[in-house]
Amino acid sequence: MKPAPFSYHRLQTVAELVGLKARLGDAAVILAGGQSLVPMLTLRLSRPEHVIDVNDIVEMDHILPEQDGLRIGALVRHQHVAESAVVATHLPLLRRMAGGVGNYAVRQRGTIGGSLVLADPAAHMPLAALLFDARLVLRSARGVRTAAYRDLYRSPLNCALDAGEVVVSVCFPRQPEAMRAVAEMFHVTAGSFPALICAVRLVADAQGGLAGLTIVVAAGAVRPPVMEGMFDDLRGVRPDAALRGEVVRRVVAHMGGLIGQDAAGRYLLSVLEGRMAMCLAGAAGDTKEGAGA
């Protein structure tokens, strides 16, 4: 099939992009990597009147260490994140998760900004942004604002940007030195989207006890929940096997209420139980299993 007719715009600057998006509104879609948009256009699942190509906007293509964290331009490709020494220094898990996106051809085209806006619950980058509490830098004709990705990601395929807004960059906050992050993925078939991703961010206190724990799980067609407050009563406890077992129990119980108890749901929960145990062991430093750092 061929796309429905549309007007094509190839821009050079963010200022041009903001101005054109303000003028065209919802009649226009933005083309970056095109890994999701192009198939939708070809199948006529999306029929925009205008397509705005942003691939020449170099000011959206950067990876910059900052005093309070790491800034990545919305146009940065997954492969660039996977190969970046700067990302490896600041957020090794982000680098490894980017390296697991699709295949090499997909990583060469797909962009971090496009992945975050699409908000696919099976995608790597949205889960990483939720885990590390990333913030999006957004521009529109009204000016610039930053917003927590956790607030913008409302539901699967629904990143709630205001009218006329475009994502310029994503900012990952600086992490504590005593932080370890680990992710585990489960694929039903090789090369497919993961049926399950679980990620753990563990911060230890000076005595080796639990100072902070964040867990995000992508399983099924639900918004990946960010689990933090449910572990507050465990602060100060050493992350030994007993504590990790309690955390696994709480996570599986929480996810069971989201993905259901039918045969498929029970199967995912059984996989989650094992993968979560591996993540927690890696984050506690007991094993090197998982894509951790």
Digit-coded pLDDT (tens) for 139-182: 999 999 999 999 999 999 999 999 999 999 999 999 999 999 99
Q: What is the mean pLDDT of residues 117-130?
A: 96
Q: What pLDDT, on a 0 to 100 scale, did the predictor assign at position 167?
A: 98
Angle between helices 124-131 and 92-99 (to 10 degrees): 170
Q: Is the pLDDT of residue 287 over 60?
A: no
User: What is the average pLDDT across 26-30?
Assistant: 96
Amino acid at 34: G
User: Which residues fall within 8 angstroms of residue 70, CB to CB, at 6 or more apart?
Assistant: 63, 64, 86, 87, 90, 91, 171, 172, 174
pLDDT at 117 over 90: yes
Looking at residue 136, its amino acid is L
Q: What is the pLDDT of residue 291?
A: 45
Report pLDDT for 141.
96
Other C-beta atoms closer than 10 Å to the C-beta of 100 total 16
Could you tell me the domains of the chain?
7-52 (3.30.43.10), 60-173 (3.30.465.10), 179-283 (3.30.390.50)
Q: How confident is the model at residue 289 (pLDDT cuts 50, 70, 90)?
A: very low
Q: Cα dihedral angle (217, 221, 225, 231), rounded to 10 degrees? A: -50
Say if residues 70 and 95 touch (Cβ distance below 8 Å). Answer: no
